[in-house]
Amino acid sequence: MSLTKVSFSMINGAPVNVLDYGAKGNGAIDDTAAFAAALATGKSVYIPQGTYKVAPVSTPVSGTEPNRTSAWVLTSGQTIYGDGVTSVLLWGSATVQCFFKATTATNIALRDLKFDGGYSSIIVYPDTDGSVDGVVVSDCYFSNMLIDVIGGNQLALNSDSKYSKNILVQNCITSGPAVHSILFTNCYNAQALGNRFNNVTGGYCIDASQGSRNVVLADNVAQTCKYFCKVESSDTTSIDPTKFASHEVIIANNTALSVDTYGIFVNSAADHIVIESNIMVGFFNYGIFLDQVSNYTHNGSISIADNVLSAASTSTTAIGILDSLASGTLPHVFTGNVIDRVDTGIKISRKNAVITGGSISASGSAILLNVPSILDGVCITGVKIAAATGINCNGTGQPVKRITVNACDINFTSTAIYSQSSIYQSIFNNNTLNSSAPTVGGIVLETPINCSLQNNTINMNTSTLNSITTATATTDCIFVGNISNRAFNINAPSAGVINSGNIVNAAYVA
């Protein structure tokens, strides 16, 4: 995704200069009155180089967070702009508030400014649904703030929250906000593009939540953060779920280095979510986390593709992708992801998933299928794996159905493919399984019924373990065309079992 710098046109007449209204810009004298006078013209305001000490509102408005909702109110068409990092708005009061606010306005912008201190550069706080349409924050610098940009109206989530539209934060740089950097709430058509985040250790670099939809988070870079981004709908029965569900989100081409907890968190209605070509490095918990939220219905259409997820070297429990979003009818699709330095590569706690391509290096299970009810309908194809256990079908005592593992390359130290529960109608074909020191065996299945194991190559350096083991009764399964250097242990085969054309005395190839 390429970025196009936003162009600005002054649609409300020639701009005014704050110096013409008495501002000094020396960082010592209070320039609040001069700014108020310039903004009251309703025209765009130019802020030349200097440090302008301001504190816009003396009396907070009513509300549960009055400091956040008090600010200078911008009118339609106003652009507040300066000369970049040398045009500094310095908060000049111990009571932090926002600098600017939009309640009923279209086409407003902040650009080429530095904000130092205060609650936020701007809060978008619509009076009615859609009363704020078109806010751009571009090429700005933020330091010592609580939240850099607040795009949307959401204090405590409630029925009074109104949506805004078309909020863009682009090419901005932040350092160390106390909480979040960019916060979109109940916002339609929100975008965060090409921003740079440094030391966001108190919250999220980008939080798109509570009814945000048609969201694009792309080409951003974070260095040292607690979390990179979140898309969320609150779990509550006190509001209208159709209004406060977040969905239709693209998270693409972002890079986050030294992520303390997790990189990308989706806890929402989860319709039309695309997470693609991101780099998340140094996380301790999760690279990508899909969680379940109650009271929302959704189809579950999620695509996670071509991401690079590398856990912190000191983490012993990290998971590359955790999919706990159990509801939704459509399969989740995971394609071409590269995951390493994790305990578990991909953990899926739902039916219906497709995992294709990419590579996983894990100290535990590369792919853990762990569903509290029946495990049904997971297709794994063409994945390159290095792990203790390659594919772990942990049905937690429930049946495992319709699992396909095809054309995977699995290097393992314990087991390549393992089913802990009765397994039905599953296919394990055309895989290459290698181990220089296995502790359990190649393919180990519990009570297989109507399963196919064909054309696998199983290469293990052991004199005692079996390449294929069925733990109990084996019913109507096919074992054909496999090549192995170890024997099979097919327990209690039924008359319908086909076991032919296999080679079980091949030489081990180091």
- Residue 221 main-chain phi, psi, to 5 deg: -130, 130
| Of 218, 201, 217, residue with least CA distance to 209 | 217
Are the CB atoms for 393 and 371 separated by under 8 Å? no
For the whole model, what pTM was predicted? 0.94
Q: Per DSSP, what are the bridge partners of residue 355?
A: 334, 380
For 429, other C-beta atoms within 10 Å of its C-beta total 18
- Residue 118 main-chain phi, psi, to 5 deg: 90, 175
The backbone region for 481, taken as left when phi is positive above 0, alpha when psi lies in -120 to 50, beta otherwise, is left
In 194-327, where does DSSP find H-type helix? 241-244
Helix, strand, coil content of the chain in percent (nearest 5):
5, 50, 45
- Residue 266 identity: V
Alpha carbons 91 and 83: distance in angstroms, whole number:
18
Are the CB atoms for 248 and 269 separated by under 8 Å? no
Q: Report CA torsion sign: 8, 220, 261, 116.
A: negative
Length of the chain: 510
Reply yes or no on domain 20-361 having CATH 2.160.20.10: yes
Are the CB atoms for 292 and 318 separated by under 8 Å? no
Are the CB atoms for 134 and 106 separated by under 8 Å? yes
- Residue 458 identity: I
Summary count for the chain: helices (H), strands (E): 3, 49
Collapsed DSSP state (helix, strand, coil) of residue 37: helix
Digitized pLDDT (tens) for each residue of the chain, 510 residues in all: 444 445 555 556 799 999 999 999 999 999 999 999 999 999 999 999 999 999 876 566 555 565 677 889 999 999 999 999 999 999 998 888 999 999 999 999 999 999 999 999 999 989 899 999 999 999 999 999 999 999 876 555 566 778 999 999 999 999 999 999 999 988 999 999 999 999 999 999 999 988 888 999 999 999 999 999 999 887 666 667 777 788 889 999 999 999 999 999 998 877 889 999 999 999 999 999 998 777 777 777 899 999 999 999 999 999 999 998 877 778 899 999 999 999 999 999 888 899 999 999 999 999 999 877 777 889 999 999 999 999 999 866 778 899 999 999 999 999 999 998 899 999 999 999 999 999 999 999 999 999 999 999 999 999 999 999 998 899 999 999 999 999 999 999 999 999 999 999 999 898
Alpha carbons 12 and 76: distance in angstroms, whole number:
8
Alpha carbons 338 and 499: distance in angstroms, whole number:
36
Q: Decide the pairing of beta strands 196-209 and 247-252.
A: unpaired
Are the CB atoms for 472 and 498 separated by under 8 Å? no
Measured CA angle at 468 (ends 465, 469), to 5 deg: 80
Instruction: Please write down the HEC assignment for all residues of 363-383.
Output: CCEEEEEECCCCEEEEEEECC
Q: Decide the pairing of beta strands 141-143 and 173-175.
A: parallel
Per-residue tokens: 150 = 């607040």
Q: How far is CA 505 from CA 350, 411, 481, 483, in A?
A: 39, 20, 13, 8
